[in-house]
Homo-oligomer: A and B are copies of this chain.
Amino acid sequence: MRIGELARRAGVTPRALRYYEEQGLLAPERRPSGYREYGERDVDTVRGIRTLLAAGLNSAVIAEILPGLPLPGQRPPGPTCPELLTGLARERARITRRMDELAEARALLDAIMAADAPSEVIRSGRLGAAGREPGGAGVSGGGREPGGDGASGGERRPRPPARKLDGARSRAVLE
């Protein structure tokens, strides 16, 4: 199929598909005319890409992960198994951390809502970063915490004090 159809079926724009190709996430055939020709499997591939992008993985990471997606049972001879596996574990841990952060933020919102809703404050404890109250009065669904999955590092440091090391700019703002 051509780019427009894939775009519709995968729920993205053609522009995004060209971008994914540019980043090495897709490699469609080409017609003599230059038109890209995609296969059926690319629909799922693109959905997978979207899922991973939505999880905060960047295209470079996805690019090294993707080969394991489309048809399992095809081992590209490159550095797949050990390094890839650690990379996967790393991203998984990052996602879990992210979920913890979200849970914390949601708890904070719940605390604010609980303190704000009954027109006046009822018991209003101090809520440093996340108000812990046993019987949460959230709008729906309570707070639950994942078991503590990856490394549960705690300290908040905005920068590895920005050593004057010449190259190697640090990224990973907050993620």
Q: Does A112 interact with chain B (Cβ within 8 Å)?
A: yes
Q: Mark A115-149, 1 if CB is under 8 A from B, else 0.
A: 11101110010111110000000111100101101
The size of the chain A interface, using a CB distance under 8 A, is: 71
Copies per complex of this chain: 2
Nearest B residue to A91 via CB reads B109
The docked-state distance in angstroms from the alpha carbon of A85 to that of B114 is 10
Interface presence of A105 (CB below 8 A): yes
Whole-angstrom distance between the Cβ of A113 and the nearest chain B Cβ: 5
> Considering the complex, which residues of chain A in the window 52-87 have a beta carbon less than 8 Å from any beta carbon of chain B?
52-57, 65, 68-69, 72-73, 80-81, 84-85
Judge whether B47 and A112 touch: CB under 8 Å: no
Known: A54-B174, A65-B112, A119-B81. A102 touches B102 (CB 8 A): yes
What are 16 inter-chain pairs, A to B, with CB distance below 8 A? A16-B158, A47-B129, A48-B129, A51-B108, A52-B108, A52-B109, A55-B105, A68-B112, A68-B116, A69-B127, A73-B121, A88-B113, A92-B113, A95-B102, A96-B141, A99-B103
Please list the 10 inter-chain residue pairs (A to B) with the smallest Cβ-Cβ separation, ordered nearest first: A55-B105, A11-B156, A72-B124, A141-B149, A72-B121, A47-B129, A73-B121, A44-B128, A68-B112, A54-B101
Show the binding face of A for B, using Cβ within 8 Å.
10-13, 16, 44, 47-48, 50-57, 65, 68-69, 72-73, 80-81, 84-85, 88-89, 91-92, 95-96, 98-99, 101-106, 108-110, 112-113, 115-117, 119-121, 124, 126-130, 138-141, 144, 146-147, 149-150, 155-159, 174
